[in-house]
Structure 1
Amino acid sequence: MSSIATSVTRAEGFHAPGPGDFNLPPIGPDKTFEFLGQEMYLGVTKPMLQLVLVAGIVFVFFWAASRKRAMVPSRLQYVGEQGYGFVRNSMGRDIIGSKDFLPYVPYLFALFFFILINNLLASVPFFQFPTFSRAGLVYALALISWLVYIGVGIKKHGFLSWLNLMCVPSGVSKAMYPLLIPLEFMSNILVRPVTLALRLFCNMFAGHMLLILFALGGEYLIVEMSAAYAPVGIIAWLLFIIISFLEILIQFLQAYVFVLLNAMYIQGSLADEH
């Protein structure tokens, strides 16, 4: 009976990870204030620094790769060209179309590598935090994509014509317009930035949560619990390693999907028919 009580007591000592683990404290001095009953703070946090760092890394790397271009490329130039060609061809030309894609390649290119490197920081020692597991950062990125999507269509078609293309489906009886037009408006204009952001945010958040759970849970079972729990703790650590490799694939795929959807939205906004 006493051994059961001891096990229960030890189990109660483990604090499971939750959303609070993603609210990192500010670095340096901060100023707190209350907003809607919640304590908020103004200050620089780790995700903010990672955003600035990644922007610098992407700029410096591709600047260095293109600075001394040659017919026979160096290794750095070759890597830079392959990265540019991947975005240009698979997400620019193949999705938007060979006629219209070139003006949007710089945006898609910068967006892809900015998201990719930020995602990969979750698997890099010392950083080990996915920047876009913070919803506010993802929605800011989705807002930029939404403004580009709308701006592209308005620039080509004009506001009213673009709105008509987005909201009025062709080949449908006018009697269905009262039902379909609000749905098309919601789907094509209002919901897209939300779903775009949620997809990236939820994958980064959930993946990092799993890693925290298996890492800390395995440590607790091995160190704090009795020896009988050690095999379970070792299994938890093995799952942590497996999921870490799976996360690298997911980090790449989420960057790819985010930019691919951006290209699809741009293509749809440029199209003459909906």
Structure 2
Amino acid sequence: MRTTILITSPDQWTAPGVELFQFAPIIPGGPDWFTKPVLIVMMSAVIAIALCWAAFARPKIVPWGWQGVGEYAYVFVRDQIARPSLGKDSDRWMGLLITIFLTVLIWNLMGVIPFVQYPVAANVNFAAALAFVVYALKLYLGVKHHGVRGYLRGIVHLEGLPGWAYALYAPMILAEVFVTSVFTHFIRLFANMFAGHLLIAFFSSVGFWFIFEQLSPLTAGLGVLGVLMTIVMTAFEIFIQFLQAFLFAMLAAIFIASGLHGSH
């Protein structure tokens, strides 16, 4: 459990807030950018590479151990994320999609790992950086396969609409494809991880304060409730972490497919 107690007086408890997401440089006097979230991102990359290496470096005919875990993850991403959007092109993009899925999943799970306890995607910069990579790839594929005019024409193809309706809907569709899509891609992930981390910190702080700091017959029940809610919210947060990794990778597959097929 992550406990963050802000004490303004000996008898006052203050709920944790945005200070949970503010970090000083790890090395005193070192570079300002080298903070705990950056270190976790580096650790996550090493973990993802190690997992894939352990699973696929020496594959056996009968999967066992890490290979079984790796193949399960691969089949899940292929069947539930890649094929529904990319169809016959899914195998070509599996390397990228499973990398995105594992990266976001490890980022998220770091929020419930003891002594780490920070989901990287709760920092909007990391979630946005990954989303903009997918966005740039979508535009590149659309222009490469269809040209600028062909790509735009495929996006705003509204057959059968009168001119006034086309003039109304075309800018809205273009705005959704080129502006709002990239923001909805990472804002969903960021908001869920931010809120979940804050809620777990809130309930763990309640439990810690009213059991260890201000224990009394009147407050013991509140402290126990805080501990129980921390356990429940942590379990729920793990489910959300998996779900958000799945949704982020699924949207990446959809955006890649839209670039390949030149359609909205």
Same fold flag (TM > 0.5) = yes
Distance 2:238 2:179 in 1: 31
Distance 2:144 2:112 in 1: 40
Q: Which amino acid aligns with 1:251?
A: Q
3-state SS of paired residue (2:249): helix
**Aligned counterpart for 2:58 among listed residues 62, 65, 68:** 68
Conserved 8 A contact 1:27-1:43: no
Give, in angstroms, the shift of residue 233 of structure 1. Answer: 1.3
- Write out aligned runs for 1:121-160 (5 A): 121-160=110-149
Structure 1 runs not aligned, ≥5 long = 1-8, 32-40
Which residue of 1 is the match for residue 49 of structure 2? 59
Which residue of 2 is the match for residue 235 of structure 1? 225
Conserved 8 A contact 1:166-1:184: yes
CA deviations on 1:199-244 (whole Å, 9 max, x unpaired) are 0000000001001100112222232264301101111110111111
3-state SS of paired residue (1:227): coil
Normalization by structure 1: what TM-score?
A: 0.87
Aligned residues: 256
Distance 1:226 1:135 in 2: 40
Conserved 8 A contact 1:122-1:128: yes
Distance 1:88 1:11 in 2: 55
Give, in angstroms, the shift of residue 264 of structure 1. Answer: 1.5
- Write out aligned runs for 1:21-170 (5 A): 21-30=20-29, 42-97=32-87, 99-170=88-159
3-state SS of paired residue (1:228): coil
Which residue of 2 is the match for residue 196 of structure 1? 185
The alignment-based identity, stated in percent, is 34
Conserved 8 A contact 1:168-1:177: no
3-state SS of paired residue (2:132): helix
Conserved 8 A contact 1:29-1:43: no
Higher RCO, Cα 8 Å, sep 6+: 2
Conserved 8 A contact 2:24-2:32: no
Larger Rg: 1
Runs of 4+ in 1 over 4 A off after TM superposition: 9-12
- Write out aligned runs for 1:215-254 (5 A): 215-222=204-211, 223-224=213-214, 226-254=216-244
Conserved 8 A contact 1:215-1:236: yes
Normalization by structure 2: what TM-score?
A: 0.90
Q: Which amino acid aligns with 1:187?
A: E
Distance 2:162 2:11 in 1: 63
Q: Which moved more, 1:237-246 or 1:42-51?
A: 42-51
Give, in angstroms, the shift of residue 115 of structure 1. Answer: 0.6
Distance 2:233 2:10 in 1: 24
Which residue of 1 is the match for residue 167 of structure 2? 178
Give, in angstroms, the shift of residue 168 of structure 1. Answer: 4.1
Distance 1:148 1:49 in 2: 26
Distance 2:250 2:262 in 1: 20
Distance 2:10 2:217 in 1: 14
Conserved 8 A contact 1:92-1:108: yes
